[in-house]
């Protein structure tokens, strides 16, 4: 399994193609619709996680994050 955002894009477009296939029976379409719904929910979670990681990097840069501050924080948390 691949784990890049470009792979996620490919999975989403493949799902759309399967939904748009005119030769799909009603039963197959319903099955694919449910699968697509789950894929979209999972994709949203992946994207939200990536956004959180990006925001963390932005804020760490904005507030002057350094390895020394990380050590101070770890020390503080271990003391509790």
DSSP per-residue letters across the chain:
---SHHHHHHHHHHHHHHHT-TT--HHHHHHHHHHHHHHHHHHHHHHHHHHHHHHHHHHHHHTT--HHHHHHHHHHHHH-
Q: Which domain holds residue 39?
A: 5-79
Q: Is 2 left (phi over 0), alpha (psi -120 to 50) or beta?
A: beta
pTM of structure = 0.65
pLDDT in tens, 61-75: 777 777 776 676 666
- Token readout for 78 is 């271990």
pLDDT in tens, 9-59: 999 999 999 999 999 999 999 999 999 999 999 999 999 988 888 888 788
> Looking at the 3D structure of the chain, how many domains does it have?
1
């Amino acid at each position: 399994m691949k784990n890049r955002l470009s792979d996620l894009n490919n999975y989403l477009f493949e799902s759309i193609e399967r939904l748009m296939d005119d030769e799909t029976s009603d039963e197959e379409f319903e099955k694919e619709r449910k699968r697509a719904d789950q894929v979209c929910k999972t994709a949203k979670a992946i994207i939200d996680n990536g956004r959180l990681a990006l925001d963390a990097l932005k804020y760490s840069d904005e507030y002057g994050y350094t390895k020394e501050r990380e050590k101070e924080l770890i020390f503080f948390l271990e003391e509790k």
